[in-house]
Structure 1
Amino acid sequence: MQADILVLPGDGIGPEVTAAAVQVLRAVAQRYGHVFRFEEKLIGGAAIDATGEPLPADTLAAAQRAHAVLLGAVGGPKWSDPKATVRPEQGLLAIRRALGLYANLRPVKPHPAALGASPIKPHLLTGVDLMVVRELTGGIYFGQKQRTADSASDLCEYSVAEIERVTRRACTLAQSRRGRVTSVDKANVLETSRLWREVVTRVVREEFPGIELEHQLVDSMAMHLLAKPREYDVIVTENMFGDILTDEASMLAGSLGLLPSASLGESTVGLYEPIHGSAPDIAGRGIANPYATILSAAMLLRHSLGLENEARCIEKAVDGALDNGVFTADLAPGGRGVGTQAATAAVLEQLELECQPVMMRD
């Protein structure tokens, strides 16, 4: 296979972790006989510094040409002035909307070797395997915003079509898992949530009668997610709730540095990124955890390129590194872990040991 992959390192530790993921993708390509062509462009704060825009036109054009996009992280103190009219996060929101990426998939499956890094009791984490599907292009993040001298407002708005399509994505995923969907809203207070609940209920009833559907209010869901995480399979929710709940869910895995994500639309083009931020406090020190970005690269292979065997190979290699106790500082007791490159090298070593390339037929 030949594929064009756009790499957007972004800010902070973004360049370090994307470089690690590219190393792994190159190794996979060599091992399985693929040709991956990588192009690098600016986004976020780095793009603002260079061009004045968080998403330059040539970056968007490159994304629209690519088969998939691998992103690091955006933002940092340098660009955090709340009064600024141009902010790094605008680049991320804009590329999601421009590419029609309406569903953000965030898997949470704690690794047994890393359970000690979680503040949650280990017996609650054994067997946890859930997928959060976050609606990505609607809601309060994209609504009209107003600010006066003594007040401010943000409009939260959803259409029936936006809720239908993300519900279908969640249900389709649930069909290949345990067949259970939990929809999260705030229907006791918000009109958008009342619409959300009605549409989700109708889509499941009419189009996915085999799916077991449960509704949860977001505040109770925040509690249940930590108290009984094993009970959940696929969780679908709106943009802001999904943003908050998936950061909370990272505590199940022990670190944000272990959780990948995929942002998908109707086409096979997707954007893949770790759910963590730019971590400017450790940028340039070579200690960032690359596992989430490497696992995001695995999702890229699966969802955009259709390379399931290769995706599983990367996931198996990360599992092997963790099984061998190769922990970065965010996972290691006392914060005394290996650096980014050592963790990446451990994954590359596991690729060689455990992942057998598909033999070509004569």
Structure 2
Amino acid sequence: MSANKSLLILPGDGIGPEVMREARRVIEWFERRRGLSFAIEEGLVGGAAIDAHGVPILPETIARAKEVDAVLFGAVGGPKWDGLGFDRRPEIAILSLRRELGLFANLRPAIVMDALVDASTLKPEVVRGLDIMIVRESTGGIYFGEPRGIETLPDGTKRGINTEVYTTPEIERVARVAFELARKRQGRVCSVEKANVMESGLLWRETVTALQQREFPDVALTHMYADNCAMQLVRNPRQFDVIVTTNLFGDLLSDLASMLTGSLGMLPSATLGAVGPGGRRHALYEPIHGSAPDIAGKGIANPMAMILSFAMLLRHSFGLEEEARLVERACGNVLGSGLRTADIMQPGLARVSTQVMGEAVVRELDKLGA
């Protein structure tokens, strides 16, 4: 347990620094109580980097991200920087990290903890026991495809262009991650696209099917159009185990799935690169809730997604399954005790601040780790 594990922490903007402070408490607990040694560096990204350096992320930060074992990322963006050109917006920081580190597989779990069954806008009988993993391709598709841009037409009007592009290797590598995850879960993958109206979707379906038949015959594979998947997530979400889909559809469907759990503030994510020599892979972990500038600085943000992102880091970057489950159990127990931040508040329960919620998780770790 004493091996040095290197982390680059990038709090970012808005509520990013607030929730990251609570994740740091959990990291410090593992250093203090479990003998885990983390070599931690901190850097600026997003609007914070723009204010300090004029760019959303420095080349030195990207270079360091390539050297460490894992990156823990907060959130970026806010109205302060809305007037900047597209290539200077804070969000370029996360897109650059995904591209430069080859982070192609975004893992977004949607789990309904027992204590939060009533926090969902869906009926309890629909979401109770929900445990879905959405695997979103994150370095291709319409967000990165070429050609792209805005052009002026001869009549003076303008046209915006974005291109949905996928190659066989890009589809295979993210589908392989989904199949491997399914083997450790319920053994089911649903591949989501729009093969009925998009050639890229047809290639996606054909490629995933061929991969399953060739390498994963033990995993059950189904296919679903993205619009139907959105409907089914609300109608009967427990029919899903692992969903694998494109960059755009994964963006939309994972946010939809987040509300099944009660709040964006509860959902972590991991974005993984290819496995390299010695089994090492680049990886970045972040909550999916964004910078939430409307509540930044008020001390009311939910730190659970950030803390649970660290749990995913323990699991996927360091293979520390027991430690990851310990964090997840601590979070569940705190919620079970009736503590709530504003986003998941329910009548009769105790509303607490970001800091108090983080402190409660650490106290619960003390109890569980005794």
Q: TM-score scaled to structure 1, two decimals?
A: 0.96
Q: In the alignment, which residue of structure 2 is the partner of 1:48?
A: 50
Q: Is the 8 A contact 1:108 1:129 kept in 2?
A: yes
Would you say 1:353 and 2:367 are equivalent positions?
yes
Would you say 1:227 and 2:235 are equivalent positions?
yes
Following TM superposition, by how much is the alpha carbon of 1:336 offset from its aligned partner in structure 2, in angstroms? 7.2
Q: Is the 8 A contact 1:115 1:253 kept in 2?
A: yes
The SS at the match of 1:140 is: helix
Would you say 1:180 and 2:188 are equivalent positions?
yes
Q: How does 1:1-362 map to 2 (within 5 A)?
A: 1-81=3-83, 83-144=85-146, 145-149=148-152, 150-267=158-275, 268-333=281-346, 337-356=351-370
Q: Is the 8 A contact 1:174 1:233 kept in 2?
A: yes
The SS at the match of 2:195 is: coil
Following TM superposition, by how much is the alpha carbon of 1:84 offset from its aligned partner in structure 2, in angstroms? 4.1
The SS at the match of 1:5 is: strand
Following TM superposition, by how much is the alpha carbon of 1:52 offset from its aligned partner in structure 2, in angstroms? 1.5
d(CA) in 2 for partners of 1:336, 1:178: 36
d(CA) in 2 for partners of 1:154, 1:355: 51
Q: In the alignment, which residue of structure 2 is the partner of 1:359?
A: none
d(CA) in 1 for partners of 2:32, 2:285: 21
Q: Is the 8 A contact 2:190 2:240 kept in 1?
A: yes
Following TM superposition, by how much is the alpha carbon of 1:37 offset from its aligned partner in structure 2, in angstroms? 1.9
Amino acid at match of 2:180: T
Q: Is the 8 A contact 2:23 2:306 kept in 1?
A: yes
- Structure 1 residue runs of 5 or longer lacking an equivalent are 357-362
Following TM superposition, by how much is the alpha carbon of 1:92 offset from its aligned partner in structure 2, in angstroms? 0.4
d(CA) in 2 for partners of 1:128, 1:28: 29
d(CA) in 2 for partners of 1:52, 1:224: 44
Percentage of matched positions with identical amino acids: 52
d(CA) in 2 for partners of 1:168, 1:83: 37
Amino acid at match of 2:243: I
Following TM superposition, by how much is the alpha carbon of 1:81 offset from its aligned partner in structure 2, in angstroms? 3.0
Q: Is the 8 A contact 1:298 1:310 kept in 2?
A: yes
Q: Is the 8 A contact 2:114 2:129 kept in 1?
A: no
Aligned residue pair count: 356
The SS at the match of 1:263 is: strand
d(CA) in 1 for partners of 2:297, 2:129: 36
d(CA) in 2 for partners of 1:89, 1:161: 26
d(CA) in 2 for partners of 1:213, 1:239: 20
**1:107-145 per-position Cα deviation (integer Å, ceiling 9, x unaligned):** 111011112221111110112111000001000101121
**1:44-77 per-position Cα deviation (integer Å, ceiling 9, x unaligned):** 1111111121121121122112111000001111
Change (3 A) 1:159 1:343: same
- Structure 2 residue runs of 5 or longer lacking an equivalent are 153-157, 276-280
d(CA) in 2 for partners of 1:117, 1:61: 41
Between 1:14-23 and 1:263-272, the stretch displaced more is 263-272
Q: TM-score scaled to structure 2, two decimals?
A: 0.94
Following TM superposition, by how much is the alpha carbon of 1:333 offset from its aligned partner in structure 2, in angstroms? 2.5
Say what the alpha-carbon RMSD is for the aligned residues: 1.3
d(CA) in 1 for partners of 2:66, 2:24: 20
Change (3 A) 1:224 1:82: farther
Q: Is the 8 A contact 1:329 1:336 kept in 2?
A: no
The SS at the match of 2:344 is: coil
d(CA) in 2 for partners of 1:173, 1:84: 35
Amino acid at match of 1:134: R
d(CA) in 2 for partners of 1:128, 1:336: 25
d(CA) in 2 for partners of 1:16, 1:250: 21
